[in-house]
Each structure stands twice: as structure tokens, then as C-alpha cells.
Amino acid sequence: MNPTPPATVAVITAALDDYRMTTRPEERTPEGAARRVAEYLRSSGYAITPQPAARRPRRRRSAA
């Protein structure tokens, strides 16, 4: 696994701090926090794209 750049950690930290300060405790959810982090990352120029699933090698058909 690659190390996380300090700038990325700073953006995530800011997003989570903002989420905690602007969202009432009873309304906080992991999904809400994740959405705020994604919003901050996108607005900071990070691209959020899914990685394609690893393909399994195709099984060869045996000659019958």
C-alpha cells in the first residue's frame, strides 16, 4: 500500500473537523462523514474514481 500524502491527510482532517462542528451529534453518521470527506477531496482537486475489479483468468475449455 502506498503512503498517504500529508496534503491528503490535511484535507480529510479538515473535512472531518468541519463535519463534527456543523453536524449535531445525534445526526452524525459514518456515511455523512464519508460524503463530507469526498466533497472536500473533490473540491481540492482529487479525482475519486473506482478501481476496476481484478479480472479472473478465463478458464480454458477442455477439448472433448
- Put simply, whether the predicted model's pTM sits higher than 0.75 gets the answer no
CB 29 within 8 A of CB 37: no
The tens digit of pLDDT for each residue in 34-64 reads 999 999 999 999 998 887 877 777 777 766 5
Q: Give the model's pLDDT for residue 64.
A: 59
Q: Is pLDDT above 70 for 1?
A: yes
Residue-averaged pLDDT of the chain? 90
How far apart, in whole angstroms, are the C-alpha atoms of residue 33 and residue 22? 11
